[in-house]
Amino acid sequence: MSNLKGWKEIPIGGVIDKPATSRLYKTGEWRVSRPVIDREVCINCMQCWLYCPDMSIEGSIEGKRMKLGEFKMEYCKGCGVCAAVCPVNAIVMKPESEFIDE
């Protein structure tokens, strides 16, 4: 939470003083476990990208194929769907306590 503002810098009363600010709000903070992917094992099938309910997994097009991108931890809720659908078990869910100081 080190990138968040201090108490002297924010509007009082919990007021949001500008419109359309929800895209600035990071919703991944209450995750208890996170997906960690082994890129050596990944076959770029894009199943995890397709199933992720929060669109937290990025993908891009390379030629005629898609390529798996980054897992965006700002929005990932740690639901584990990506790990569950991975056909080659390239994704494992690790407890958030292992990353607490990041």
Positions in the binding site for another protein (CB under 8 A): 1, 4-7, 10-19, 29-30
Look up residue 98 and give its two tokens.
């292992």
In degrees, to the nearest 5, what angle opens at C-alpha 25 toward C-alphas 22 and 26? 140
Residue 99 CA to residue 102 CA, distance in Å, equals: 6
Closest distance to another protein from the beta carbon of 58 (Å): 24
Cβ closest to another protein, residue 60 vs residue 97: 97
Cβ closest to another protein, residue 21 vs residue 60: 21
First to last CA, the chain: 10
Closest distance to another protein from the beta carbon of 28 (Å): 11
Cβ closest to another protein, residue 6 vs residue 87: 6
